[in-house]
Structure 1
Amino acid sequence: MQLEFKQIFTAFMVLFAVIDIIGNIPIIIDLRKKVGHIQSEKAALIAGVIMIVFLFVGKSLLNLIGIDVNSFAVAGAFIIFFIALEMILGITLYKDDESSAMTASVFPLAFPLIAGPGSLTTLLSLRAEFEIENIIVAVIFNVIVIYAVLKTSAKIEKLIGKNGINIIRKVFGVILLAIAVKLFAHNIKMLLA
């Protein structure tokens, strides 16, 4: 087992940027308002498990059901696109009358928001470059950061205030929309090539 700090740090930073847990704070606060409480430990743990399992079986799993990574990323781009529209326009596209803290912690928080197509496809590309144990350590560090942000989202909300949250929500909605468009454009090009 060869742990390399440079690989761990690079993989951590790449995943941190793709997961964008700081940018997701408005969505987390929004979800908490809808369901009352989010199980931070469960959401972080499930997201971590999904990412680590996908690291090992992702490509084989997609191949098994006849889906290539690019199709998976295009589907993910649509989900991110709709989440971004909700943030920018202040509308609710995803309605779940049975929504509870448990289901919100898993869907849409752990998947597809944290361990979504963006982070899962990133894991597949990192695997081509880095040692698997370094990627696992990077995922674990990201899970710790995710847990900390989820746990302190109420304090962050108090600190920023309602108007601050609305501004951040709109700004990150536009950024998320841009990520969705980029993810879609890049992967549709690969599919049509």
Structure 2
Amino acid sequence: MKFNFKEIFTAFMVLFAVIDIIGNIPIIIDLRKKVGHIQSEKASVIAGVIMIVFLFLGQSLLTLIGIDVNSFAVAGSFILFFIALEMILGITLYKDDSGSAPITATVFPLAFPLIAGPGSLTTLLSLRAEFYIENIIVAVLLNVALIYIVLKTSSKIERIIGPNGIQIIRKIFGVILLAISVKLFAQNIKALFI
């Protein structure tokens, strides 16, 4: 077991920025209005299970299709880069047009793809190329706990922080995410040319 507080904290912050649960509060509130009730526990647990399963099986899936972790990490750094740009500039580069109203929003679209989506899954494999798996699992579990708290208290948080506060938080985490994506790219691009 190689627990390292610095790795846990960095992985936690990266996942927190990518999942962007604070920035998703308006979407969560909108889903609540549409479907009535969201099961916070179920959504958090399902998202956590998806992320941890992908952390273990993602690499095998990549090997199966002939892609190494460094290539995936470089691709992941591009996704993080664009997510960061969306957060900083307040633009939407990715738009999901599957506009059908879900029967239950707990699993889809909340647990997947809003929480455990392409960004967070790519990030997990990118982190795996850099950190020990134990530290990433702890970071995932801490994020799941935080997601649960935010889902439970989303309307209170929105009232306290306000729309401007949410925008400021998004921009701050966008800049952090941008720096992380550049670092991830720089560390993994070298391995592709050796």
Aligning the two structures, in what range does the TM-score lie when normalised by the shorter sequence? 0.7 to 0.9
**Alignment partners' CA distance in 2, 1:169 and 1:139:** 20
The count of aligned residue pairs is 183
Matches within 5 A, 1:156-171: 156-171=157-172
Counterparts in 2 of 1:88 and 1:68: CA distance versus 1, 3 Å: same
Deviation >3 Å, runs of 4+: 6-15, 33-43, 134-142
Partner of 2:27: 31
**Alignment partners' CA distance in 2, 1:83 and 1:107:** 14
Counterparts in 2 of 1:192 and 1:51: CA distance versus 1, 3 Å: same
Counterparts in 2 of 1:171 and 1:12: CA distance versus 1, 3 Å: closer
**Alignment partners' CA distance in 1, 2:150 and 2:9:** 16
Quick check: 1:88–1:169 contact (8 Å CA) kept in 2? yes
| Aligned-residue RMSD, C-alpha | 3.2
Partner of 2:79: 79
5+ unaligned residues in a row in structure 1: which ranges? none
Which deviates more from structure 2 when the two are superposed, residues 156-165 or residues 21-30? 21-30
The answer as to 2:132 corresponding to 1:126 is: yes
Which deviates more from structure 2 when the two are superposed, residues 135-144 or residues 73-82? 135-144
Quick check: 1:8–1:138 contact (8 Å CA) kept in 2? no
The answer as to 2:52 corresponding to 1:52 is: yes
**Alignment partners' CA distance in 2, 1:56 and 1:23:** 19
Of 12, 16, 20 in structure 2, the residue corresponding to residue 20 of structure 1 is 16
**Alignment partners' CA distance in 2, 1:22 and 1:95:** 16
